[in-house]
Structure 1
Amino acid sequence: MTNLKSLILGSAAGLIAIGGAQAADLPVKAKAVEYVKVCSLYGAGFYYIPGTDTCIKIGGAIRIDTAFNGGTYDNPFWQGQAGAAGAWTGDYISTRQRINLTTDTRTATEYGVVRTYANIQFDFLQGRESIAGGYTEVDYAFIQFAGFTFGKAVSQFDPQWALSKPYISSGFNAGSNNATGIPQIAYTASFGNGFSATISLENASPYRNAGLYNNAVALAAPFGASGNTGSYGTSSNTFAGNSYGGNHIPDVVANLRLDQAWGTLHAAAAMHTITPGFYTGTINHPDDSYGFAVTGAVEFKNLPTGAGDSLKLEATYGKGAAKYVFGGTTDTLGGGRYAHAEGNTMGFGYVLDGVFGPGGQVQQSEAWQVSAFYEHYWNPAWRTSVFGNYSHISYGDTGNALLFASLNAGRTSNGGFLAPGTTGNFDLGLTQIGTRTAWTPVRNLTLSAQFTYSRLEQNLNGAWVGAIPGKVTPAGGFALGNQNHYNGSVQILRSF
């Protein structure tokens, strides 16, 4: 019995020892996996960055565009391209493929929400890229904190709905343009009930500098790129005769806004500084000239015509600040040159902040525009918009005299000249009317088609003697007259 008892106790002690040894060999318990959590504070699509209290939303889009009888951005052929003259060598179609990536972060702090936002585009453009080329652009990149906005964002001059105009692309003249944002420092004060006010300092170069013509230099011809060394968007609208002296003072912009369930109201003003370059052959220059622009806009939502329907109206006036009025992506050759030829006729004009002559001061231009956009939803999947714009610019008696002198028969280095006896002025008017129909068969996939009619109205009576791509100059030159243009585009857009 004694031996049996000793055996049982010994076996139990051995089992306990073995169990203890096995327990010592077990791995330490793994740390719980920290899964990404949904952040519901700022709307759908936000998640907490693991280990932080910052929420992030990653999105983007792929869009495929094809333009017919127009440029890449669905621009009418205004800029002196071969297509503007109906030349055999002109492109009848133009294509673009774009990948868009966005990041949006939000962090709640004692000073309010700290936000960062970036929008990066990867584009492939017909006529610009090699077979496997492409380019990258940063359209928006800003930080918002305690009411301040720092970086590249929608100009405070423009209404809240600047990026939601119901058309395909940015080639339509419809006031100030925000295709890639404006570098700025802005402060917004909110007063409750949807009412707010903002003041900002914005970088005028290159979006807001329309060009300043020095009459001592031959002005770039309407057709061709005489003296052009840089496109709008890569430099401050460089073209033959441009004499902007630099970007010395930022534009000062202020606005008042009202956001309500029924829609929005927006009023804004801007001061634009024109810093001239030197008189030719001297170190003297005209005085700085201060232009300005004002705008008013209203949006009506959910109209009686149907749920989701909207009407947007906008009017703008600028003196010495032409790009606050003529803001579409049409300055492909610089100098705001608008030109079109049909048969043996042609029409042209310039969009400039002003002109000056030897020893003189800047003669500012005056420009204005009105725009309207209406969109109707037939049902949740189908919608149609109609839109129109009229933009106008003039230079006054002194400015007209300087422009006439620059394009007379003795200044042929610019690629052409006005025939002797030509009269009138350099007032330019552009009328555009368009319509777009969009179909969204599934969420975030939209197919759309657009048609645009444009009319260039010029006020010169006479003829232009000079080379036009793909055309033989008639005896006595091309008769000057108003021009009509038709173009269209289709797009497929997948956003995510």
Structure 2
Amino acid sequence: MKMVKSLILGSAAGLIAMSGVQAADLPVKAKAVEYVRICSLYGAGFFYIPGTDTCIKLGGYLRVDTTFNGAPYNEPAWAGDLGQGNRYRDYFASRSRLAFTIDTRTATEYGVVRTFGQLDWSFASPSGSFREVGPTGQAGGLNNGQQIATEMLFIQFAGFTFGRSASAYATPWHGYPGNNTSFLVGGHDTVTGTNNIQYTAQFGNGVSGTIGLDDPLAFNRISVYNLANTSAAGVVTLASLTGTGSSGNAYAGTHVPDIVGNIRVDQAWGLFQISGALHEVNGSYNALTHVVTGGLVTPFGGPTFGANGLSEISGHPESKFGGSVMAALQIKNIPTGAGDDIKMDASWGKGDMKNIIGTSAGVRAFNMFGGGSGGAYQSIGFANATDAIYLPTFAGGDGTLHLTEGFGFRGAFNHNWDPYWSTSLFGGYAAIRYDGTAKNFYCAAYAASNLGAQSADFSCNPDFNLAQIGLITRWTPVKNLTFSAEVLYFHLDQKFTGSKVLTPTAPKPTAVYNYADQDTVSLNVRVQRNF
């Protein structure tokens, strides 16, 4: 019996040992490793940076577009070779851009700490602003069109924003109520950001207020004209304007930031906003030198212009403050269709014309040519926006900055035909006005700078209006991929009359030109993939 018992116990022990060995050989399912942990706090696309409580989102877009009879991003043919319509102009211009964005957010006891940045890689046709035209009219050095640029770069903390961000003056749509073009006139545009510090307070129910300090140097200092031309020997003339009425920039250094702010109501029905800006306008010196050739200001790209040994002791005009105000309105849920809306903004300014003319780039001098009449070689239309002009007392002026005044309007009606097709009808308008004394000083300088014969009905008036209207249709066959085509009409309403012998920028000859309004039409086609 003892022997049987031992055999049974030994067999059982052996079976248990064998089963243990077999169990050890069985595959054990490992615990899943979460390499990417989704962060749902701030919307789709965010995930946690491994080992931290910071959420990050990577995104951007790739955009390819071509403009016919215009510069990249549907800039109208309103200046340079395109405005002249000469043999150096390009019939089309293209740009390809990859934008990469990084957005990080961390929840803290003070609220969300956010950082945001965008880096752009672009390749553009070496045309428009990329081409340098020499004094013989020959194409100068050609930039290969490659660009690396930054847009927004900012930190947000406890209601404050530090860095390069949209101005507190801006609307959410900037200069894009419904368009592709980056050159819609009529109001403010800091869509790529400007260096600033600002604070936003939320009052509840969609009501907020923002106040900020903007660095005006990059975007908001168009030009100040000193209409006197003082040589290093102290000889003073009024020969300070080109045949197309432009001059060098006599702005002094940046002394005071722009003070900007808005009050905004953003609710389900739409948005209403009032914005204001205070902008310092200052001149550098009274005695400044313009390079003059043959009685005419050097026409190639505008006059060269700078200080001389008399500048510092000549004094300067007293600085003034200008500014602007803007009212903006968006109406949603209109009866024409789901997702349709109307966006519009109206602006008034004095001494702050960037907030009237707008565009995401610097404000150009507008120079356009067309067919001549009455025996003239061609017609010419030009417009020069300034924040102020002045004529020193030693040149016969009053030595005072005369601030330029302007009014602007932009708007769009945006309609969705179905989930795949949409159309926008948009437009912009800007009117620039000089006061009576400023006009007298300007026209005296224009006459002294351009000595050619003129017709009996010639008259000088630097005021002007700009008008645009456009239509764009978009097709989105799949989410985040959009094809679009945009037609844009531009009209320059200038106020000079009659005709005059002028020397415009080469390759235009010295000849009789009659002053006339000008028009141009451009077409832009684009494909964009967001990610």
TM-score, with structure 1 as normaliser: 0.86
1:15-94 counterparts in 2 under 5 A? 33-79=33-79, 81-94=80-93
Task: Report if aligned partners of 1:303, 1:310 keep a CA contact under 8 Å in 2.
Answer: yes
Letter of the 1:282 counterpart: S
Residue 222 of structure 1: how far off its partner (Å): 6.2
* Contact kept? 2:48, 2:55, Cα under 8 Å: yes
Decide whether the 8 Å contact of 2:243 with 2:504 is kept in 1.
Answer: no
Cα 1:162–1:222 shift into 2, 3 Å? farther
Q: Is the 8 A contact 1:171 1:328 kept in 2?
A: yes
The question of whether the paired residues in 1 share the 8 Å contact of 2:260 and 2:276 is answered with yes
Aligned residue for 1:426, secondary structure, equals: coil
Matched residue of 1:87: which SS?
Answer: coil
Q: Distance in 2 between matches of 1:118 and 1:164?
A: 20
More deviation, 83-92/184-193:
83-92
Number of residue pairs matched? 470
TM-aligned CA deviation for residue 418 of structure 1: 8.4
User: 2: distance between equivalents of 1:419 and 1:167?
Assistant: 42
Letter in 2 for 1:313: M
The Cα offsets for residues 190-230 of structure 1, whole Å up to 9 and x where unpaired, read as 11000011110011012010111111245463669xxxxxx
Distance 1:329 1:258, change over 3 A: closer
- Quick one: structure 1 residues 464 and 70, their matched pair in 2 at CA, closer, same or farther if it must change by over 3 Å? farther
* Separation of aligned partners in 2, 1:45 and 1:116: 16
Q: 1:254 aligns with which of 261, 264, 270?
A: 261
Summarize deviations over 1:217-254 as a string: whole Å, max 9, x none: 45463669xxxxxxxxxxxxxx8521111111000011
- Provide, for residues 389-433 of structure 1, a one-character-per-residue CA deviation record: whole Å limited to 9, x for no partner: 110111111211222233224x25xxx878476314110100111
Alignment check: 8 A CA contact 1:82 1:470 kept: no
- Residue 301, structure 1, aligned to residue 336, structure 2: no
- Note the alpha carbon deviations across 1:81-107, whole angstroms, 9 max, x for none: 112122122111011110001111111
2:475 aligns with 439
CA distance, structure 1, for counterparts of residue 487 and residue 120 of structure 2: 25
Check whether the contact 1:77–1:83 (CA below 8 A) recurs between aligned residues: yes
Partners of 1:94 and 1:223 in 2: how far apart? Answer: 25
Q: Which residue of structure 1 aligns with residue 174 of structure 2?
A: 162
Q: Which amino acid aligns with 2:88?
A: T
Give the letter for the 2:353 counterpart: A
What residue in structure 2 maps to residue 113 of structure 1? 112
Partner of 2:414: 375
CA change 1:268–1:366 in 2 (3 A) is same
How far apart are residue 47 of structure 1 and its match? 0.9
Letter in 2 for 1:337: A
Do structure 1's residue 199 and structure 2's residue 220 form an aligned pair? no
Paired residues of 1:62 and 1:98 also in contact (CA < 8 A): yes
Cα separation, 2, equivalents of 1:383 and 1:85: 35
Residue 164 of structure 1 deviates from its aligned partner by 4.9
Contact 2:328/2:346 (<8 A) preserved: yes
Distance 1:69 1:337 in 2: 18
- Residue 352 of structure 1 corresponds to 386
CA pair 133-66 structure 1, distance change in 2 beyond 3 A: closer
8 Å contact from structure 1 (residues 407, 418) kept in 2: no
Match of 2:242 in 1: 221
Is 1:243 the counterpart of 2:250? The answer is: yes
Greater shift after overlay, 356-365 or 209-218?
A: 209-218
Q: 1:327 to 1:164 in 2, by over 3 A?
A: closer
Letter matched to residue 82 of structure 1:
D
Distance 2:175 2:400 in 1: 37
Counterparts in 2 of 1:132 and 1:455: CA distance versus 1, 3 Å: closer
SS at match of 1:403: helix
For the residues of structure 1 that align with 2:102 and 2:271, how far apart are their CA atoms?
27
Q: Which moved more, 1:45-54 or 1:30-39?
A: 30-39
What are the within-5 Å matches in structure 2 for residues 99-110 of structure 1?
Answer: 99-110=98-109
1:339 aligns with 2:356: no
Gaps of 5+ in 2: 132-141, 230-238, 288-309, 372-377, 394-398
In structure 2, how many angstroms separate the alpha carbons of the residues matched to 1:174 and 1:97?
A: 27
Aligned with 1:347: secondary structure? strand
Q: Is the 8 A contact 2:175 2:187 kept in 1?
A: no
Contact in 1 for aligned 2:174/2:191 (Cα 8 Å):
no
Displacement after TM superposition at 1:282 (Å): 3.2
Distance 1:458 1:302, change over 3 A: same
- Taking a change above 3 Å as real, the CA distance of residues 308 and 219 of structure 1, as seen in their structure-2 partners, is farther
Task: Give the fraction of aligned pairs with identical amino acids, expressed as a percent.
Answer: 39
- CA shift in 2, pair 1:363/1:484, >3 Å: same
| Secondary structure of residue in 2 paired with 1:423 | coil
Specify the alignment match of 2:150 in structure 1. 138
- Measured on the aligned residues, the alpha-carbon RMSD in Å equals 3.3
Distance in 2, Cα, partners of 1:176 & 1:222: 29
Tell me how far apart the structure 2 counterparts of residues 380 and 252 of structure 1 sit (CA, whole Å). Answer: 42
- Residue 352 of structure 1 deviates from its aligned partner by 0.6
Cα 1:417–1:429 change in 2 (3 A) is farther
* Cα deviation, residue 289, structure 1: 1.0
Tell whether the 8 Å contact from 1:211 to 1:244 is kept in structure 2 after alignment. Answer: yes
Alpha-carbon separation, structure 2, partners of 1:350 and 1:191:
42
Which whole-Å deviations, capped at 9, do the CAs of 1:42-86 have from their partners, x for residues lacking one? 11111111111111111010001101111113111222x112122
**1:265 is matched with which residue?**
272
How many Å separate the matches in 1 of 2:123 and 2:172? 29
TM-score (norm 2): 0.81
Q: What is the one-letter code of the residue matched to 2:497?
A: N
Letter in 1 for 2:242: A
| Aligned counterpart in structure 2 of residue 467 of structure 1, from 470, 482, 504 | 504
Residue equivalent to 1:227: none
Contact 1:365/1:395 (8 A) holds in 2: yes
Structure 1 residue identity aligned to 2:474: A
Deviations 1:263-319 (A, max 9, x none): 000001100001210111232111111001000000011210000111011100010
CA positional deviation for 1:31: 9.3
Q: Is the 8 A contact 1:407 1:417 kept in 2?
A: no
